[in-house]
Structure 1
Amino acid sequence: MKLRTLFVIPGILAAGLVLAGCSTGPVESTSPQSTTAPSVTEDSNSADVMFAQMMVPHHVQAVEMSDVILAKDGIDPRVITLAEEIKAAQQPEIDALNGMLKSWGMPQASTDGMAMDHGGSMDGMMTEEDMAALDAATGTEASRRFLEQMIVHHEGAVEMAQIEVDSGTNPDAVAMAQAIIDTQNIEIETMREILQSL
């Protein structure tokens, strides 16, 4: 009887450890009541949530930058086409990302293009001074400034998207991240080519 008990108790402990390992709670949280780390569901993890919440304001700023350049006269036609394509691609992604957050029970991401924390981050976001310089520029200088800023902006988006591809679990979020990487890398090359000929 004692021998049987010795086998049963380790079995119960092992089962408990397996169940604990299957928890979908955030790894960063040390308390069930903790709200400091993003909650996760069966459909997403903390990387998915962070990707969506950061990419929305990032995309919003790209749309704002495009609006600034599209409102100007004397802009290179290739830059106008690019800005129109960026707007057409990123606004639907903003809507889709906020839809994902809603389905995961997460707060909607900020739609303020200046809302992200730039302290030491590598997100490629423009500062208020950068945006003001773009707004003040005209003609070829405006085209050049837009391209230079958008290359940095896209590089930041690609970096953020790669983290999602590497760490995310939601298939829709990972697929969008891969699409961002593919599309924006192509756009970066296009922008560099245009810059060389301005």
Structure 2
Amino acid sequence: MSSVRNLTRRNLTRRAALVAATLGAGVVLVACGGDGGDSSGSGSGSGHDAHASASASASPSAGDEAGTTAGAHNAQDVSFAQGMIPHHQQALEMARLADGRAASGAVKDLAARIEKAQDPEIRTMTGWLKAWGEDVPEAGGGMDHSASGHSGMPGMMGAEDMAGLEKSEGKAFDTKFLTLMVEHHEGAVEMATTEKSKGRYGPAKAMADDIVTAQNAEIKEMNKLLGKSG
């Protein structure tokens, strides 16, 4: 009887030890798992989340900055578009006279290039003004109309000059056309230079830069045709 009790007691002790060992292992596993999970979660996980959060916050701000640079405009941009549209329109009216009046093939070629370059720019600037909710200058309803009203802008021809050009033919037209167009281009370059330094809208500043480059080159070309060195 005593031996049975001793055996039973030993069995119970072993079971208790086994249970204790199992529970202890479970606690260790849970503790390790918790620490490891928290470590990877709050260490690499939090680091990743922090990086992702930083990237997410950086990306919109970078996008917003880019959007602001490309999309924002100021009063100078509006003034540039509203002034350059009628300025270009008058240049087109002058250029369109060359086909039936100019004697020089070089003058006719120049006039065609002016028309090809400036007509799309008028459409582009018109699109900007509409998008900004600003007034778009109306197309001139004839020489006198387009020349008056905007004669205060740099290089803009007055009604008398435009009428005189319209009445000219042959070599007289060529000389008058080139002389007036040099002055007209110089005015456009002045307006575009102001936009480059004071404007904010990227595409408008880029167009202004193109105008300065192209029209300065044409001024040199026209002066050569007039027999001038500059």
TM-score for both structures, normalised by structure 1: 0.74
1:144 to 2:175 alignment:
yes
Q: How far off is 1:104 after superposition? A: 1.0
Superposition map of 1:3-152 within 5 A: 43-72=72-101, 75-112=103-140, 113-114=146-147, 116-118=149-151, 121=152, 123-152=154-183
SS in 2 for 1:189: helix
Report what 1:161 is aligned to.
Answer: 192
Task: Give the Cα separation in 2 of the matches to 1:175 and 1:117.
Answer: 24
Structure 1 residues 122 and 55: alpha-carbon distance in aligned structure 2, compared to 1, 3 A threshold:
closer
Contact 1:43 1:104 in 2 (8 A): no
Contact 1:69 1:83 in 2 (8 A): yes
Task: Give the Cα separation in 2 of the matches to 1:136 and 1:163.
Answer: 34
RMSD: 1.4
SS in 2 for 1:71: helix
Task: Give the Cα separation in 2 of the matches to 1:98 and 1:178.
Answer: 18
Task: Give the Cα separation in 2 of the matches to 1:134 and 1:115.
Answer: 15
Task: Give the Cα separation in 2 of the matches to 1:44 and 1:116.
Answer: 25
**Which has the larger helix fraction?**
2
Task: Give the Cα separation in 2 of the matches to 1:70 and 1:62.
Answer: 14
Report what 1:30 is aligned to.
Answer: none
Task: Give the Cα separation in 2 of the matches to 1:134 and 1:83.
Answer: 14
Q: What letter matches 2:183 in structure 1?
A: V
SS in 2 for 1:196: coil
1:172 to 2:198 alignment:
no
Report what 1:33 is aligned to.
Answer: none
Q: Percent identity?
A: 41
Task: Give the Cα separation in 1 of the matches to 2:109 and 2:150.
Answer: 30
Whose radius of gyration is greater, 1 or 2? Answer: 2
Contact 1:53 1:110 in 2 (8 A): no
Contact 2:196 2:208 in 1 (8 A): yes
Q: How far off is 1:116 after superposition? A: 3.8
The runs of at least 4 aligned residues of structure 1 exceeding 6 Å deviation read: none
Task: Give the Cα separation in 2 of the matches to 1:131 and 1:172.
Answer: 31
Structure 1 residues 168 and 50: alpha-carbon distance in aligned structure 2, compared to 1, 3 A threshold:
same
Contact 1:66 1:86 in 2 (8 A): yes
Task: Give the Cα separation in 1 of the matches to 2:186 and 2:214.
Answer: 11
**Structure 1: where are the runs of 5+ without partners?**
1-41
SS in 2 for 1:188: helix
1:113-150 deviation line (CA, Å, top 9, x unaligned): 325433xx451011111011111111111000000000
Report what 2:221 is aligned to.
Answer: 190
- Most deviating of 188-197 and 146-155: 188-197
